[in-house]
Amino acid sequence: MIEINIQNIVASTIFAEKLDLDMIAQSLEDAEYEPEQFPGLIYRLKEPKTATLLFRSGKANCTGGKNTDDVRKAIDIIADRLRKIGIDVYENKDLKITVQNMVATSDLKGEFNLNEVAMGLGLENVEYEPEQFPGLVYRIDEPKVAMLIFSSGKIVCAGARKEEDVSIAVEKLKKDLIALDLLH
């Protein structure tokens, strides 16, 4: 089994029907809110190290979690802090969290000629322009992810919504490369 490291999870939730961002910005010390620059309020936590964008609609996007437990913990902490300053937010148990994207890294422990990889994996699923970017982009339909493959053997998987999908995609890529005799 190949070691996979989750680098970032982006997840969304809804804290309330609406949020008073001006009040939150004035009440929470670490809140960053510049509505003329961006319509959302940025709230960063040191532990777990995350940044959450809160919007007037009550919706929020949390980024930076390394696992789903980090995301849950961050959302719960923010909900508790909002309650403490008098904001009416949904109960923690009612805060549905939806993972939108995961980014993970791995190492296939081999070096690649990316031209051979591009030809072998089929040009219809591959983007490779070495003058533009040093990696090859390989799109997999099931699970629906994009894999960045580098000549060093290192890979980045983006677009998964479950850790299991990352594992499936990496194993599928490894199997395809072995079948093409490009990985030993």
Instruction: For CATH 3.30.310.10, list the domain ranges present in the chain.
Output: 11-99, 108-179
Per the structure block, which two tokens stand in for 14? 């809804």
Alpha helix stretches (DSSP H) within the chain = 21-27, 68-84, 114-121, 163-179
Report the pLDDT averaged over residues 70-94.
96
Q: What Cα–Cα distance (Å) separates residue 147 from each residue in 4, 48, 78, 170, 174?
A: 13, 27, 33, 8, 11
Fold that domain 11-99 belongs to in CATH: TATA-Binding Protein (3.30.310)
CB 161 within 8 A of CB 101: yes
pLDDT at 1 (0 to 100): 75
DSSP state of 111: -
Residues 27 and 29: their CA atoms lie apart, in Å, by: 6
Per the structure block, which two tokens stand in for 144? 């629906």
Fold that domain 108-179 belongs to in CATH: TATA-Binding Protein (3.30.310)
Report the pLDDT averaged over residues 109-136.
94
pLDDT category, 176, cuts 50, 70, 90? very high
Question: Does residue 103 have a pLDDT over 90?
Answer: yes
With 0-12 CB in 10 A as exposed, 13-18 as middle and 19+ as buried, what is 152?
middle
Beta strand spans in the chain (E): 4-14, 31-32, 41-45, 50-54, 59-65, 98-107, 126-127, 136-140, 145-149, 154-160
Give the global pTM. 0.91
DSSP state of 18: -
Report the pLDDT averaged over residues 58-73.
97
Please state whether the peptide bond connecting residue 130 to the residue before it is cis, i.e. omega within 30 degrees of 0. Answer: no
pLDDT at 123 (0 to 100): 86
Report the pLDDT averaged over residues 109-131.
94
Question: Does residue 52 have a pLDDT over 90?
Answer: yes
